[in-house]
């Protein structure tokens, strides 16, 4: 009689009989379940590859955001209880309740099918819940995807011999987020999807391949190994222009439209922060009498009236209203009395001002309003009433970090330094990547020996001080060429007075400098098998 292991008891024929019976029940009474197998986070060195299911991408937040999924889809049989999905209106906003699905699958069948047990991160598609009559013009039905949130052994799956036969999967609906980008950036007809580009495979006409996040369609059945015609080579590839899974499922575009409409209405209702007082009149009062302070050219007393027809109100010293953020950079009664003649703006004070003149300095942030007293310019108020919308074109009180629209290169490819001498001729002082250099009326044109890559970026620095802000990249017969549109090298006759150094660096891609803390910390190098 064989000796049984103390840690893994041998399962007898009674277990096998019950397990086969349970499996048969699922085949007869279950429903088809399509499983997208999670294969690990994206490999930073090759976006088309994964690093394994047990790899943690971000060890700080313990997140796997850039997930990769197997291009093959696995078919399982499962059982779940259908339930109504309602909106919870008892609190502010719309919240779904009863949107969690508990799906039961057979243990041995699921492991044999996908090669491992079902784990958190796997995505399940329920074909029986497709919506063929959605309010859109898509030719395909809307699919229903759920992510596996938890996996446990089902209590009802234990047999009379105390062995488990069923897994109970807790499923939550997926949303258009970074984690599921790999699934959502697939063609609508997934039968044509051939996965991420593999240089060792042969692709045929009509197949859709993803390369660096972009979908391409094979033009003809070229019958060549992929590495000989790498996308986006126009000989064999064309951009995929049909509907993707994201186009059918994502609500991002509609939510952005709603958000833009809310912002537009908010700006219409309250264009600026604080209180609006420019349409109110400020009356100057004589502090000794408490009566309105007036200037007059006729001092004869008029018994019929305390004022003469030639009486003119004195201009107020400042706005006569108090409240939250009243400063708007407009003189008191400026919109009511037509005092534009004594009001100006600029980056320096005017010459020969008159007493009482107002001037708005636009080189202050926020802009500052001054009044000429005869001997000095006295601060009146700051223009603190600004729009609170965080956009790049509107003046706000936000920090430059949030409003920054510049990008920084990542994954450096090569760098070179060019020195322009007093005769205007380029001298290569470092590196060997600059093939041609032309000095232009505005900027310069450079041709390199670096292979041109889609979405690459170039940064240029002049004399290691100022950075070029406008650079146009070109594909010069497969090599990188770029034009510097900034006025960096312009002098009399296009000849710099002194030798000028120009350093350029090419990167394979770029990221926006305006980013969240989580996005910044994502640069931490992932650790495998933690």
Domain-embedded: residue 346: no
Are 163 and 212 members of one domain?
no
The count of domains in the chain is: 3
Q: β-strand 426-430 against 407-420: which pairing, if any?
A: antiparallel
Domain-embedded: residue 294: no
**pLDDT confidence of residue 5:** 42
- pLDDT per residue of the chain (530 residues) written in tens, 0 to 9: 444 444 444 577 788 899 999 999 999 999 999 999 999 998 888 888 889 899 999 888 889 999 999 988 999 999 998 877 776 666 665 555 667 899 999 999 999 999 999 999 999 999 999 888 877 766 778 889 999 999 999 999 999 889 999 999 999 999 888 899 999 989 988 888 888 888 888 888 888 988 878 888 888 755 555 656 788 777 788 888 888 888 888 888 788 888 888 888 887 887 788 888 877 887 777 777 767 776 655 544 544 445 555 556 666 777 777 777 888 878 887 755 444 445 788 888 888 888 888 888 888 888 888 988 888 998 888 888 877 775 544 444 444 444 455 677 888 888 888 877 655 556 655 557 888 887 776 678 888 988 898 888 898 887 766 778 788 888 888 889 988 877 655 443 444 445 567 788 898 888 766 554 455 555 544 444 43
For 50-184, where are the alpha helices, taking DSSP H only?
A: 107-114, 181-184
- Both tokens assigned to 145: 């995807």
Domain boundary among 142, 163, 182: 182
Domain-embedded: residue 165: yes
C-beta of residue 105 within 8 angstroms of C-beta of residue 33: yes
Domain-embedded: residue 86: yes
d(CA 507, CA 436): 19
Domain-embedded: residue 104: yes
**pLDDT confidence of residue 68:** 93
Are 21 and 142 members of one domain?
yes
Are 171 and 199 members of one domain?
no
Domain-embedded: residue 233: yes
Q: Phi and psi (nearest 5°) for 265?
A: -70, -35
**pLDDT confidence of residue 391:** 54
d(CA 444, CA 496): 13
The range of the structural domain enclosing residue 86 comes to 13-182
Domain boundary among 150, 182, 214: 182
**pLDDT confidence of residue 357:** 84
Distance set, CA 432 to CA 393, 418, 427, 439, 447 (Å): 41, 10, 11, 19, 12
C-beta of residue 427 within 8 angstroms of C-beta of residue 421: yes
| Residue 178: strand pairing partners | none
Domain boundary among 152, 182, 212: 182
Of 239, 241, 240, 237, which Cα lies nearest the Cα of 224?
Answer: 237
Are 103 and 128 members of one domain?
yes
C-beta of residue 294 within 8 angstroms of C-beta of residue 312: yes
d(CA 280, CA 293): 18
- Both tokens assigned to 296: 């007059």
Any idea what DSSP says for residue 56? B
C-beta of residue 260 within 8 angstroms of C-beta of residue 272: no
Domain-embedded: residue 66: yes
Are 237 and 172 members of one domain?
no
Q: Cα torsion at 107, 110, 111, 116 (round to 10°)?
A: -120
- Both tokens assigned to 65: 């955001």
Are 224 and 85 members of one domain?
no
CATH number of the domain that residue 212 is part of: 2.10.10.20
Q: Phi and psi (nearest 5°) for 253?
A: -60, -45
Domain-embedded: residue 438: yes
**pLDDT confidence of residue 6:** 41
**pLDDT confidence of residue 89:** 65
Are 65 and 211 members of one domain?
no
Q: Phi and psi (nearest 5°) for 226?
A: -55, -35
Of 129, 128, 174, 126, which Cα lies nearest the Cα of 148?
Answer: 174
Are 84 and 217 members of one domain?
no
Q: Is 318 helix (H, G, I), strand (E, B) or coil?
A: coil
Q: Write the DSSP string, 222-263.
A: ---BGGGS-TT-TTTEEE--S-BHHHHH--HHHHHHHHHHHH
d(CA 319, CA 327): 9
Are 166 and 199 members of one domain?
no
d(CA 441, CA 461): 18
Q: Is 325 helix (H, G, I), strand (E, B) or coil?
A: coil
**pLDDT confidence of residue 1:** 41
Buried b (16+ CB within 10 A) or exposed e, 365-398: eebbbbbbeeeebeebbbbbbbbeeeeeeeeeee
Are 51 and 152 members of one domain?
yes
Q: How far is CA 481 from the centre of its chain?
A: 28
Are 174 and 231 members of one domain?
no
C-beta of residue 496 within 8 angstroms of C-beta of residue 424: yes
Are 139 and 161 members of one domain?
yes
Q: Is 167 helix (H, G, I), strand (E, B) or coil?
A: strand
Can you tell me which residue has the tokens 């390369």? 211
Which class for 46: exposed (0-12), middle (13-18), buried (19 or more C-beta within 10 A)?
exposed
CATH number of the domain that residue 58 is part of: 2.40.10.370
**pLDDT confidence of residue 275:** 83
- Tell me the Cα Rg of the chain: 35
């Amino acid at each position: 009689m064989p000796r049984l292991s103390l840690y893994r008891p041998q399962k007898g024929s009674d277990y096998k009989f019950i397990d086969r019976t349970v499996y048969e029940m699922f085949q007869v009474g279950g429903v088809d379940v399509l499983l997208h197998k999670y294969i690990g986070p994206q490999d930073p060195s090759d976006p088309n590859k994964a690093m394994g299911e047990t790899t943690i991408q971000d060890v700080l937040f313990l997140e796997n955001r850039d997930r990769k999924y197997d291009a093959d889809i696995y078919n399982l049989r499962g059982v779940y209880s259908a339930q109504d999905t309602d909106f919870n209106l008892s609190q502010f906003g719309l919240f779904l309740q009863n949107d969690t699905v508990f799906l039961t699958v057979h243990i041995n069948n699921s492991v044999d099918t996908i090669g491992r047990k079902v784990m958190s991160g796997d995505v399940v598609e329920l074909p029986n819940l497709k919506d063929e009559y959605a309010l859109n013009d898509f030719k395909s039905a809307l699919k229903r995807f759920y992510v596996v949130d938890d996996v446990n052994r089902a209590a009802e799956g234990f047999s009379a011999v105390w062995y488990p036969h069923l897994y109970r999967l807790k499923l939550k609906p997926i949303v258009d987020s970074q984690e599921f980008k790999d699934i959502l950036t697939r063609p609508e007809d997934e039968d044509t999807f051939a996965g991420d580009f593999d240089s060792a495979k042969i692709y045929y006409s009509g197949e859709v391949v993803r390369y660096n996040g972009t979908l391409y369609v094979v033009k003809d059945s070229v019958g060549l190994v992929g590495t000989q015609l790498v996308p986006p080579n126009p000989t064999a590839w064309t951009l995929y222009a049909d509907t993707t899974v994201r186009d059918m499922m994502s609500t991002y575009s509609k939510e952005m439209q709603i958000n833009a409409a809310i912002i537009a209405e908010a700006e219409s209702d309250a264009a600026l922060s604080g209180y609006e007082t420019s349409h109110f009149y400020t009356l100057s009062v004589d502090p000794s009498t408490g009566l309105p302070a007036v200037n007059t050219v006729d001092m004869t007393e008029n018994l019929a009236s305390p004022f003469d027809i030639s009486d003119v109100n004195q201009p107020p010293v400042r706005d006569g209203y108090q409240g939250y953020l009243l400063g708007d950079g407009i003189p008191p009664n400026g919109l009511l009395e037509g005092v534009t003649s004594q009001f100006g703006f600029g980056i320096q004070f005017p010459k020969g001002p008159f007493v009482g003149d107002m001037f708005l300095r636009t080189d202050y942030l926020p802009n500052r309003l001054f009044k000429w007293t005869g001997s000095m310019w006295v601060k009146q108020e700051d223009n603190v009433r600004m729009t609170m919308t965080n956009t790049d074109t509107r003046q706000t009180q936000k920090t430059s970090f949030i409003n920054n629209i510049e990008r920084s290169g990542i994954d450096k490819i090569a760098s070179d330094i060019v020195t322009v001498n007093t005769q205007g001729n380029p001298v290569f002082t470092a590196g060997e990547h600059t093939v041609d250099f032309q000095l232009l009326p505005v900027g310069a044109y450079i041709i390199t020996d670096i292979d041109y890559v889609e979405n690459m970026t170039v940064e240029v620095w002049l004399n290691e001080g100022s950075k070029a802000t406008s650079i146009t990249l070109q594909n010069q017969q497969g090599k990188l060429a770029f034009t510097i549109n900034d006025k960096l090298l312009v002098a009399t006759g296009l000849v710099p007075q002194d030798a000028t150094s120009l350093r350029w660096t090419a990167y394979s891609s770029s990221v926006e400098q305006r980013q969240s803390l989580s996005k910044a910390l994502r640069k931490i190098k992932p650790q495998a098998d933690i």
